[in-house]
């Protein structure tokens, strides 16, 4: 069956080499035998509640309530997405990498809109699944991050033969919305994201 | 000291949120041409019709489309009924009709009113017909001002023109496939049968009928990313906007107005490149009618139909993400824009002051005074930001913005307008524009 795959023999990173806040998590995960890396992190963070709703000038000593999301957390949200053709995570295939995740603060003091920029590295330069992977990353972040984040997903420059075309598609809100109403494509995405829950 | 010249002179105030809002993304809102109602295209496959008088939901049109309704357009000039066209991601366009009760009561005698009981169930929007043809999602549709033509466009890179021969009998009069990418928006000229389309291929194209065939007559390059919206200026705006006041104008200014009037209504476009551009048609010279020189009818289509559209202005950049929509006020000539960054920005045009006319705002003298004599001379007018508002839909993106005539009791003058914004939060909001001095 591997012959049908566009990249039948991808490079796979050792789980203990993946970026994580908890050095022990790799060991811990083996005990549970599942994709525990992400599960372990869930209770530690409150990013599913929009911190923007909280009054900024509250007496709460936690000054950085609004800035509760950093690159590592974004990485944790998307590294557990499954590759559409391998039973492996985007993190272990090095499709998503921590240094390629950027959080850009609001452009103006009057704005509350932050931007998350994720550059993905397809496993091979002509991988036609790059768009689907990018779409999966965008959908995952749009669902998991508070709505004050705009999500930009791009192919890392020079890693893909048609990166401009793919970037344009991934950046087009209307195309993304239409894609999510496509049952077949949604089935593929749901499968990719099933390892995130 | 006078206030800084570029300080916004208006403020945008919330008037109402149409209620109840949709539970999911709303795409676009179209004000009815004559009645105080709007129709909103919703991603939940429905169209919501709201009152601009009570700010409440009047009708929900469901059961027609299988995917998002992306675009709605009211047919102009209908009598006794409202006709709505809906364009959907399910590739089809729908036509819906509703008899106007008020009109019936005015037009007919009591005899008619006795039938009201039977008509009660007809009070809703009735599905009339479906327009099939596009291969993929319809992104925009628009009736021309006379209601004769309906233009649709979509991801299949095509623009279709439909003509309504009789009620619910539509004929395809043109399928235009000039674009190299999704066609995002179509718009009609207010006076001529001239159609504009904006696309994912970064261009804007204009079409007109030439010997029974619709052909492209102009190509506008200028944006370097997807062009999301295109809209013509209203008719006769030089009698309504800043050009209305003719006293004390210099000779150049008078000539400028005459030039603009010969060009006719301008075109505004906005893009993923965060810019808004105004385009003006180069007026045709009398000698341009090439046929008259030879007198020989050509089998090649006459070049005389081609048009040159020149960049007239770039509006001050106030958006830092894609601009999805803009709208040109038919009453004041102001432009409102909105997009991914959640801001609403209003711009107005004015004469450049003598201070800034010869010397640039940054103090740098004009490089070449002779540039004024060139064919495309720098405009004597300029666009400035009149008002801006952050987070109009909280943290959500704004998909569409337009002007509508204010219809609630609080209306302060005849023809007062409200700004109507439509967002990813499922809300349609109304805003008033208030002069800064009056609001303090």
pLDDT at A33: 40
The DSSP code sequence of B185-229 is: EEEE-SSSSEEEEEETTS-EEEEEEETTEEEEEEEE---SS-EEE
* Residues A52, B322: C-beta atoms closer than 8 Å: no
Q: Which residues of A touch B43 (CB under 8 A)?
A: 177
pLDDT tens-digit series, residues A133-172: 999 999 999 999 999 999 999 999 888 888 899 999 999 9
pLDDT at B295: 52
The structural domain count of chain A equals 1
Please report whether residue A1 resides in a domain.
Answer: no
Range of the domain at A85: 69-193
Please report the domains of chain B, with CATH numbers, ordered by start residue: 10-435 (2.130.10.10)
pLDDT at B367: 45
Of A107, A113, A177, Cβ closest to residue B395: A113
Please report whether residue A56 resides in a domain.
Answer: no
Within 8 A by CB and 6+ apart from B393, the residues are: B342, B421, B423, B424, B425, B427, B429
pLDDT at A6: 72
For residue B425, count CB atoms less than 10 angstroms from its CB and return exposed for 0-12, middle for 13-18, buried for 19 or more: buried
Of A107, A148, A178, Cβ closest to residue B395: A148
Asked if pLDDT for residue A40 goes beyond 50, the answer is: no
* Residues A173, B391: C-beta atoms closer than 8 Å: no
Give the chain A residue whose CA is nearest to the CA of B388.
A110
Q: Which residues of B touch A173 (CB under 8 A)?
A: 322, 324, 340, 397
Both structure tokens of B385: 């930001």
Given pLDDT bands bounded at 50, 70 and 90, which one contains residue A67? low
CATH of the domain at A152: 3.30.300.130
Q: Can you state the percent helix, strand and coil of chain A, rounding each to 5?
A: 40, 10, 50
> How far, in Å, CA of B188 to CA of B145, rounded?
7
Please report whether residue A57 resides in a domain.
Answer: no
Residue B8 at interface with chain A, using a CB cutoff of 8 Å: no
Residue B391 at interface with chain A, using a CB cutoff of 8 Å: yes
Report, as ranges of residue numbers, the positions in chain B whose pLDDT lies below 50: 1-3, 103-120, 287-293, 357-375, 438-440
pLDDT at A189: 95
Asked if pLDDT for residue A1 goes beyond 60, the answer is: no
Please report whether residue A26 resides in a domain.
Answer: no
DSSP state of B43: T
* Residues A112, B395: C-beta atoms closer than 8 Å: yes
pLDDT tens-digit series, residues A89-123: 999 999 999 999 999 999 899 999 999 999 999 98
pLDDT at A10: 78
Buried b (16+ CB within 10 A) or exposed e, B15-27: bbbbeebbeebbb
Please report whether residue A29 resides in a domain.
Answer: no
DSSP state of A64: T
B198, B217 Cβ separation under 8 angstroms: no
pLDDT at B108: 46
* Nearest CA-CA partner of B389 in B11, B27, B9, B17: B11
Least Cα separation, residue B380 to chain A (angstroms): 31
pLDDT at B115: 46
* Nearest CA-CA partner of A116 in A81, A83, A76, A88: A76
Residue A172 at interface with chain B, using a CB cutoff of 8 Å: yes
Given pLDDT bands bounded at 50, 70 and 90, which one contains residue A61? very low
Please report whether residue A109 resides in a domain.
Answer: yes
Please report whether residue A46 resides in a domain.
Answer: no
Rounded to two decimals, the pTM is: 0.85
Residue B155 at interface with chain A, using a CB cutoff of 8 Å: yes
Please report whether residue A42 resides in a domain.
Answer: no
Residue B256 at interface with chain A, using a CB cutoff of 8 Å: no
Tell me how many helices (H) and strands (E) chain A has: 7, 3
pLDDT at B310: 96
pLDDT tens-digit series, residues A23-39: 444 334 334 444 444 44
Give the chain B residue whose CA is nearest to the CA of A148.
B395
The ipTM of this complex is: 0.86
């Amino acid at each position: 069956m591997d012959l049908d795959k566009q990249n039948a023999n991808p490079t796979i990173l050792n789980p203990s080499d993946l970026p994580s806040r908890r050095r022990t998590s790799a060991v811990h995960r083996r005990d549970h035998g599942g994709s525990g890396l992400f599960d372990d992190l869930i209770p530690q963070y409150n990013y599913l509640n929009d911190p923007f709703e909280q009054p900024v000038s509250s007496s709460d000593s936690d000054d950085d309530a609004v800035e509760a999301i950093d690159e590592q957390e974004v990485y944790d949200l998307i590294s557990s997405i499954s590759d559409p053709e391998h039973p492996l995570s985007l993190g272990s295939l090095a499709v998503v990498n921590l240094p390629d995740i950027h959080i850009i603060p609001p452009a103006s003091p009057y704005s509350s809109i932050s931007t998350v920029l994720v550059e993905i590295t397809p496993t091979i330069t002509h991988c036609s699944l790059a768009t689907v992977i990018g779409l999966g990353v965008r959908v995952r972040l749009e669902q998991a991050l508070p709505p004050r984040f705009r999500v930009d997903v791009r192919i890392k420059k020079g890693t893909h033969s048609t990166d401009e075309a793919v970037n344009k598609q991934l950046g087009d809100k209307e195309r993304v919305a239409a894609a999510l109403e496509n049952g077949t494509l949604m089935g593929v995405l749901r499968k990719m994201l099933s390892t995130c829950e | 000291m006078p206030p800084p010249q570029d300080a916004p002179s208006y403020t945008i105030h919330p008037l109402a949120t149409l209620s109840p809002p949709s539970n999911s993304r709303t795409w676009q809102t179209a004000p009815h041409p004559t009645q105080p109602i709007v129709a909103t295209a919703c991603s939940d496959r429905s169209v919501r019709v709201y009152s601009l008088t009570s700010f409440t939901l009047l009708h929900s049109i469901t059961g027609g489309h299988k995917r998002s309704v992306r675009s709605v357009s009211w047919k102009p000039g209908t009598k006794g009924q409202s006709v709505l066209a809906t364009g959907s991601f399910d590739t089809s366009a729908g036509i819906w009709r509703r008899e106007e009760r008020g009109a019936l009561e005015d037009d007919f005698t009591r005899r008619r009113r006795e039938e009201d009981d039977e008509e009660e169930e007809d009070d809703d929007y009735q599905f009339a017909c479906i327009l099939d043809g596009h291969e993929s999602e319809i992104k925009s549709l628009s009736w021309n001002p006379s209601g004769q033509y309906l233009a649709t466009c979509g991801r299949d890179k095509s623009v279709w023109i439909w003509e309504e021969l009789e009620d619910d009998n539509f004929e395809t009069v043109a399928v235009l496939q000039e674009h190299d990418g999704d066609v995002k928006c179509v718009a009609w000229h207010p006076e001529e049968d001239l159609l504009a389309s904006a696309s994912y291929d970064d261009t804007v194209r204009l079409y007109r009928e030439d010997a029974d065939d619709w052909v492209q007559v102009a190509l506008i390059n200028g944006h370097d990313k997807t062009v999301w919206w295109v809209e013509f200026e209203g008719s006769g705006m030089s009698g309504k906007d800043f050009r209305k006041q003719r006293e004390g104008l210099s000779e150049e200014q008078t000539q400028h107005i005459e030039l603009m009037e010969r060009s006719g209504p301008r075109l505004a476009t906005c893009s993923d490149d965060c810019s808004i551009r105004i385009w003006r048609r180069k007026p045709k010279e009398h000698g341009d009618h090439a046929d008259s020189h030879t007198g020989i009818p050509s089998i090649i289509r006459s070049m005389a139909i081609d048009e040159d559209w020149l960049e007239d202005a770039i509006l001050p950049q106030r958006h830092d993400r894609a601009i999805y929509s803009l709208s040109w006020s038919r009453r004041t000539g102001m432009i409102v824009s909105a997009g991914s960054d959640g801001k609403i920005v209003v711009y107005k045009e004015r004469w450049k002051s003598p201070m800034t006319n010869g010397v640039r705002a940054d103090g740098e003298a004009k490089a070449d005074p002779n540039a004024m004599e060139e064919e495309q001379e720098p405009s004597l007018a300029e666009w400035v930001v009149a008002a801006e508002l952050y987070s109009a839909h909280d943290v959500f993106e704004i998909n569409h913005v337009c002007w509508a005539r204010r219809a609630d009791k609080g209306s302060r003058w005849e023809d007062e307008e409200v700004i109507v914004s439509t967002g990813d939060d499922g809300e349609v909001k109304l805003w008033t524009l208030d002069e800064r001095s009056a609001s303090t």
